[in-house]
């Protein structure tokens, strides 16, 4: 994506935590660009470096290398751009003995900016908490707190919304509601959303584009459709298998798959695959298109690390 008009740009961003026993390279040379109006997913297993990246994005910790740019400006030289950013990190912090509405009123006064009070009721409605607005947060479920957290993040009407693991701890219904809420922020309100998750399924459902981070490094950045397309393949039963494999290698990636082989070719390329096999004197018994689900793609990407 062009960096022009990018809402978030991470340029060679790195973070090394210094400890007594040397440094932890939590984030290494991460470069991504998020365009206006996108829902962008930052996906990775636990400990991959997602929270560290988000903390740098929000100016909460300083990078040891590289730069965060928001709305075209370096965060370091213009922290005021953070006024256009709303965030939900660690599920949000609220006064347990105050109601949901009262909590938002307190926040609106401290850093909601102009017109924040008037936004409270529509926001409670939007996050599905209008019915529970007068109840103490103490009695809220995890899902309700998360949704109140999203309302709090939206109080000052930000253009960019950053959500750290927004579906963590939610049940199936809560996940569904959060998903709709996030899509709505983008589709109806034109906001840009950057979210982190270790749950692939969630990212697949809600994001336009994802970066997969593993051990502090981006291992793949793609649209969900691209990720799936890259993993189209053909499962071929043929004999002798070794001959089949050598007839196709060099043109496509081939790997053994039980008593068959898996060829990284598209369905459109199937006739060419068969011609090559027959030309090499291989008997073909079966050929079937095979699409790995994103779960498998994710696992194969994050496990490509030779140290894994
Ligand atoms: N304050 C810190 N001091 C030292 N090391 C840290 C610190 N914070 C995080 N780390 C280390 O940096 C690496 C990345 O952690 P980070 O919390 O960013 O990952 P994550 O992808 O958000 O994982 P999780 O989903 O488990 O929070 C991990 O190895 C972690 O142990």
| Distance from residue 167's CA to the centre of ligand 1 (Å) | 19
Q: What confidence score (pLDDT) does residue 308 get? A: 41
The residues near 239 (Cβ < 8 Å, ≥ 6 apart) are 282, 283, 285
Q: How confident is the model over 299-304, as a mean pLDDT? A: 69
pLDDT at 1 over 50: no
How many whole angstroms separate alpha carbon 165 and alpha carbon 64? Answer: 24
Residue 186: band (very low, low, confident or very high) from pLDDT cuts 50, 70, 90: very high
Ligand 1 site, residue 95, Cβ cutoff 6 A: no
Residue 112: band (very low, low, confident or very high) from pLDDT cuts 50, 70, 90: low
Ligand 1: nearest atom to the Cα of 48: 21
> For tokens 């660009």, what's the residue?
33
Task: Report all structural domains of the chain as residue ranges with CATH numbers, in order of start.
Answer: 6-227 (3.40.50.300), 232-291 (3.30.70)
Residue nearest to atom 7 of ligand 1 (CA): 17
Q: Give me the percent of the chain exceeding a pLDDT of 70.
A: 95
Candidate from 47, 53, 90 with most ligand 1 atoms within 8 A of CB, to mutate: 47
Residue 193: band (very low, low, confident or very high) from pLDDT cuts 50, 70, 90: very high
Q: How confident is the model over 296-307, as a mean pLDDT? A: 65
| Distance from residue 215's CA to the centre of ligand 1 (Å) | 10
DSSP states along 85-132: EEEE-TT----TTSBHHHHHHHHHHHHT-TTHHHHHHHHHHHTT-GGG
Ligand 1: nearest atom to the Cα of 24: 5
Q: What confidence score (pLDDT) does residue 2 get? A: 42
Q: What confidence score (pLDDT) does residue 176 get? A: 87
Q: What is the pTM of this model?
A: 0.80
Residue 58: band (very low, low, confident or very high) from pLDDT cuts 50, 70, 90: very high
Q: Give me the percent of the chain exceeding a pLDDT of 90.
A: 57
Ligand 1: nearest atom to the Cα of 213: 21
Q: Are 64 and 14 in contact (CB under 8 A)?
A: yes
pLDDT tens column, 61-74 = 999 999 999 999 99
Ligand 1 site, residue 24, Cβ cutoff 6 A: yes
ipTM of this model? 0.95
| Distance from residue 49's CA to the centre of ligand 1 (Å) | 6
| Distance from residue 43's CA to the centre of ligand 1 (Å) | 14
β-partners of residue 289 are: 234
Q: Is 144 exposed, middle or buried (0-12, 13-18, 19+ CB in 10 A)?
A: buried
How many whole angstroms separate alpha carbon 163 and alpha carbon 57? Answer: 11
Mean pLDDT computed over every residue of the chain: 88
């Amino acid at each position: 994506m062009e960096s022009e008009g990018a809402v978030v740009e991470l340029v060679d961003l790195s973070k090394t935590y210094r400890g007594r026993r040397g440094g932890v390279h939590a984030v290494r040379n991460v470069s991504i660009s998020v365009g206006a109006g996108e829902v962008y997913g930052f996906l990775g297993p636990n400990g991959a470096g997602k929270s560290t990246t988000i903390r740098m994005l929000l100016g909460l910790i300083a990078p040891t290398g590289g730069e965060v740019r928001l709305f075209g400006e370096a965060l370091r030289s213009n922290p005021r751009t953070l006024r256009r950013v709303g965030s939900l990190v660690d599920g949000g912090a609220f006064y347990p003995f105050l109601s949901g509405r009262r909590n938002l009123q307190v926040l609106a006064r401290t850093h909601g900016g102009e017109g924040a009070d008037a936004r409270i009721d529509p926001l409670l409605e939007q996050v599905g908490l209008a019915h529970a607005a007068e109840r103490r947060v103490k009695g809220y479920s995890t899902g309700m707190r998360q949704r109140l957290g999203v309302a709090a993040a939206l109080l000052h009407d930000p253009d960019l919304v950053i959500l750290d693991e927004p579906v963590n701890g939610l049940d199936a219904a809560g996940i569904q509601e959060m998903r709709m809420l996030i899509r709505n922020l983008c589709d109806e309100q034109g906001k840009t959303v950057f979210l982190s998750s270790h749950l692939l399924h969630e990212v697949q459902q809600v994001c336009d584009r994802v970066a997969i981070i593993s051990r502090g490094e981006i291992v793949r950045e793609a649209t969900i459709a691209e990720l799936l397309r890259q993993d189209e393949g053909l499962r071929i039963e043929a004999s002798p298998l070794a001959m089949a494999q050598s007839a196709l290698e060099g043109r496509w990636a081939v790997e053994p798959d039980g008593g068959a082989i898996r060829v990284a070719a598209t369905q459109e390329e199937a006739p060419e695959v068969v011609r090559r096999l027959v030309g090499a004197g291989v008997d073909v018994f079966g050929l079937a298109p095979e699409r790995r689900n994103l779960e498998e793609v994710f696992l194969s990407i994050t496990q490509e690390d030779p140290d894994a």
